[in-house]
A and B are shown apart, each in its own frame.
Chain A
Amino acid sequence: SQEGGSASQETATDGREETTGSDSAGGDLFDPANYKSSKDKSEWTIAVVTKDNTANWFKRMEIGVNEFGEETGINVIQKGPANADAASQVQVIDDLINQGVDALCVVPIDPGAIEASLKTAMEKGIVVVTHEASNQKNTLFDTEAFTADAFGAALMDALAKDMGETGKYALMVAYTTSTTHMEYANAQKARQLEAYPNMELINDGAVPSAESEESIDTAYERAKEILKANPDLKGFTGVASTDCPGIAKAVEELGLDVKVVGVGTPNEFKPYVESGTISTIKLWDPKDSGYIMCKVASMILGGEKISEGADLGIEGYNNVSIVEGDNKCIIGEADLTITKDNINDYDF
């Protein structure tokens, strides 16, 4: 993981070099002020590109996107690729660029794969806003309910609290190649090493412990294997929406006392949360994320400045902070922690 760290640092410096390189081309590519649109608001088109439009998560997001469109009268569209595959997403983005949309709001499948496309978009004067991509370089703003590190840490905090800060735990992701998942997973481990010395990640700390391959059934099978191989396991986290239902099912069936913490939508997890197997769900509301991406894009198009402490108009984003890392990251305080006590307050 140390190698990985230095590699990403290198990437970061490369990113800077590119930035300065394009500076000379005229205007700062990364200054939102350069993207003020001369067109009337009603002529703008804001396109939201998701990972997979069939997933409940992004259907929820579409509600927020449409809400924004209705509220403002701005033309908004949401598109997903024909396959949940980075290459297909690149195609969608490239095609939208050609159709002359005014803003692109992207939830990348793989941030690395779309860098070049997003750069092209910006060079053409298209506003680029991303979500779930705190390491995306070619974006004006990345909007996050929180940072990946903070989210990973929050997951770990929740798990640690539920399992009493001691014992073995395991981490599941969809694929080792899922960039965001791996960030969350690595952040969890980092937090545990820093704050919970009595906890131990199985398999000598290898991240992740298993892949769910974005399938609830596979998550279940892998969880079972892990539980069999580690009968003394006390905690389990899963960061893909397929992971926790599978893990919880395995735990229930084996009749073990393992705390399950993870990411997902409340309705899908409700039975397991109510039965107590899933102790905590961490998430943010994709409806709000969709809304916020569009809002940020429209503000840039309208020439409005977004600065530290800005109010983006919905709860959780009334006082955003801006962190400059690989990009400018707008961070709200919109993480939701759902437990048995408040699960009935959410319906998505």
Chain B
Amino acid sequence: MGRYGDMMSNILCAKGIKKSFDGVHALKGVDLTINKGEIHCLAGENGCGKSTIIKIISGFYRPDEGAIEVAGKGFPVMTPTQAIKAGIQVIYQDFSVFPNLTVLENLAFNQVLANKKRLVNKKEFRKIAEEAVKKINFEVDLDALVETLPVADKQLIAISRALLDNAKLIIMDEPTTALTKKEIKRLFEIIAALKKNGVTILFVSHKLDEVFEISDSITILRNGENVISCPTSEITEEKFAYYMTGRHFDTAQTRKNMKKNIGAKMLEVKNLSAPGFENVSFELHKGEILGVIGQLGSGRTELSLALFGLLKPTDGKIIMEGKEVKLPNVNVAHKLGIALVPEDRLTEGLFLSQSIVKNITVCRMDELASSIGILSNKKSVEESDKWVKGMGVVTKNHELPVQTLSGGNQQKVVLGRWLATTPKVLILNGPTVGVDIGAKYDIHNLLRKLAEEGMAIIVVSDDAEEVIETCNRAIIMRSGYVTGEISEEALSREALALASN
């Protein structure tokens, strides 16, 4: 179904790319053709091979088979420097910044290296860097160390670095995950401006609305194979989801049709303050899903940490089932039936090199062990089996390390771990960040089902769609304060947009 443009209008043409890692076939002969000057969207579920083909185009991986042409010129062996020289710039999913170096160096390295300079010229560095940040009006201290900057700034560094002079094709691997709505808007403006200047963009995203908002054409991959390549105008949202996942979604199952089963008051937070937020109050009932919507740095993360015993409140009360509780550490929270699915699953959630079993049972060890602390292997495997099946984690063997799973499946493992503790209050911080629509759909469904069964849930998110789809109510946080609350009836995209601006 691949669609090939003629030689002249192609900026990039990759044919029959195959790549496998230690037995995993990430790409099974993928074709990708991008026309000059277009915004091309590459979509597909987690683990379908999007990042892998990008890394092959940028010369970071060598394909097992296949050929790459850039602007009609064949590259038998592509290296990162060659790619940069050919005008290909990549904004990687993980930003690819140097945390230990200054913004200045982060911005200048690529270009200086591509020009084969051997010596450091501070003035030249500064010139390149200033030029780069100016392109997107990004205000940042060029001499600051990148590790001291917030996530969004790191993303913006990666973006501005890619915009440098000779870029003909800019590849963005999920560039919007860490950005706020406002920043996304700004990014799209930049992309539009680039397009006007004749730069071609390859854009990777899971988010339907983004794809349809900006792309000219789409290539969808599934399991390392092409599914379709066509102009965006020829495809509908529904079809898009189908091509990506190979399944049809029951769109009737939304919040509006959710069975309401709101019960007794489960959790009450009164005038809670902690470093990062102040004077936050709200109530949470059994069977209710409360959305906490706020942008990066609004205090939402700190609030979730405070409710989980990881951040010491300076003031205020937490009342659970009518009794005031103190949460000095995670164990107390755990015993009280509070669970937190953390924001960053890689650093805060998973033990990447350990088995799926260990990752799922880690919070249940006390129950799975005998009174003197001996773990039952059988029980652990049963427990993990239950959750692997229940959550639909795709894996060959649950003794395999978690790092062999794709992002969505990894998130399911973290979620399964906490659900295994049968919590009364489940807090999820960005439950579907970087998760594809199939897995996202599964997770949202699961949350609704859990609420129906009487669990009290807090969804912390900056994704309005997610909050609308899953939550009964939402509170809005900004700069450490709750600035508003939206009831179920009023919960809509417009209301959220209005409230958070």
Question: Do chains A and B directly touch (beta carbons under 8 Å) in the complex?
Answer: no
Which residues in B have some Cβ–Cβ distance to A below 8 Å? Answer: none
Which residues in A have some Cβ–Cβ distance to B below 8 Å? Answer: none
